[in-house]
Amino acid sequence: MSFAGMLNRLHGQPESYEKKSKYKFGRTLGAGTYGVVREAEGPTGKVAVKIILKKNVKGNEQMVYDELSMLQRLKHPHIVKFVDWFESRDKFYIVTQLATGGELFDRICDRGKFTEKDASQTIKQVLNAVDYLHKNDVVHRDLKPENLIYVTPDDDSDLVLADFGIAKTLDSKDETLKTMAGSFGYAAPEVMAKQGHGKPVDMWSMGVITYTLLCGYSPFRSENLQDLLEECTRGSVIFHERYWKDVSSDAKDFINCLLVPEPNKRWTSEQALGHIWLSGENATDHNLLPEIEAFRRRSRLRRAIEIVKLQNRINKLKEHEDDPENSEMGDAQGGEEKKDGARLHALGLFALKDVKQKQETLQMEEEMGKEAKRRSFTEN
């Protein structure tokens, strides 16, 4: 044992705490109920470090060990890589690969052109990762565009699936998970209805992501849980002619195979990987970029709001630390990011106006369609 290690043990620190000296912590990337995620410089370069307060998981420490076990055995080119872990008297530290290439929708907008064919190959990458998880009896439970990140800014960078905070390893193929988990708008009906869920929830989320990627808005527009559940269980997905006329029928069929309310009838990851749309054969060269840029503007409003929420969560976590004066929780934003706040807010307001106009147009088209059907019925 090194001299530093002996000192740490004298201060009641676990043996692995010695590893902490190898990392220089930077900005805070995110925060949740149990801790924060911070950027850090380590022996292998820049990494992401998840810092979990032991006080916040007291009695549920197994949850942390389960996540560690899962991350260590997951090895796939499209899944964020595990690097290391260590602990102190009051915290767990989980070190993973830091993906710096940007989120899926941001990266697409920087390309200048993004076609349906490009979308099919992007979804294929993500689906390969989901299929790997499911073959290893892991359910991610929080698939959404924000968790799809490029490893580097390079043009040929891999897209990786990140954030395994609420992922679960099933003890058996028939096990059902009971807790509410996921993100509003991407969670499957059985999660919202608290009916018990498993691998099919990830396939529902893949359907929502694919739909959004191809038209720039969600297939479901309800703003509260009960309305959203009713909308999701109607059993039919609407493809508005105005925004879907240049998208192939294969793409629509692929989405329809995933957005199935009954989990036992929803396609599995293996079935979905065999769908013709992922071959790109019949996918069109229609440029999806204008619609995706509109989605990104709406996302920026959410991010501006999230920065405020993030700082509030960090402040609460600091209160639970043993030594708040020397907090390791960091802050939500630095000086440069603060300057960006007004610009983000302005972009967000513009995005709100944009989405409201689109929703009003879609609603008008739906009402006109219903009226036309009524007239046809009356005339006949």
- Taking alpha carbons only, the member of 36, 215, 45 closest to residue 119 is 215
Sequence-ordered alpha helix ranges (H) in the chain: 3-10, 61-73, 104-109, 116-135, 189-192, 200-215, 225-232, 241-244, 249-258, 269-273, 289-320, 335-339, 341-379
Q: Across the strands, what pairs with 50?
A: 37, 94
- More confident call, 203 vs 296: 203
54 labeled part of a ligand binding site: yes
3-state secondary structure (DSSP) of residue 224: coil
Residue 352: what pLDDT? Answer: 41
So where are the chain's domains?
19-97, 104-287, 298-379
Q: Would you say 124 and 117 are in contact if contact means Cβ atoms under 8 Å apart? A: no
Residue 335: what pLDDT? Answer: 41
- Taking alpha carbons only, the member of 18, 20, 68, 28 closest to residue 48 is 28
Which positions are catalytic? 142
pLDDT digits (tens, 9 = 90+) for 185-198: 999 999 999 989 99
Q: Across the strands, what pairs with 53?
A: 91
Residue 109: what pLDDT? Answer: 81
Q: Would you say 38 and 26 are in contact if contact means Cβ atoms under 8 Å apart? A: yes
pLDDT digits (tens, 9 = 90+) for 43-80: 999 999 999 999 888 888 888 888 899 999 999 999 99
Q: pLDDT-based confidence at 370, cuts 50/70/90?
A: low
- Taking alpha carbons only, the member of 120, 114, 74 closest to residue 97 is 74
Q: pLDDT-based confidence at 341, cuts 50/70/90?
A: very low
- Hey, what CATH class is 104-287 in? mainly alpha
- More confident call, 359 vs 189: 189
Q: pLDDT-based confidence at 96, cuts 50/70/90?
A: very high
Residue 166 has pLDDT above 70, yes or no: yes
Asked whether this chain's domains 19-97 and 104-287 adopt the same fold, the reply is: no
Residue 9: what pLDDT? Answer: 57
Instruction: Provide the CATH number for the domain formed by 19-97 in this structure.
Output: 3.30.200.20
- Taking alpha carbons only, the member of 350, 296, 280, 356 closest to residue 121 is 280
Mean pLDDT for the stretch of residues 111-139: 94
Distances in whole angstroms, Cα of residue 180 to Cα of each of 105, 136, 157, 183: 27, 22, 34, 10
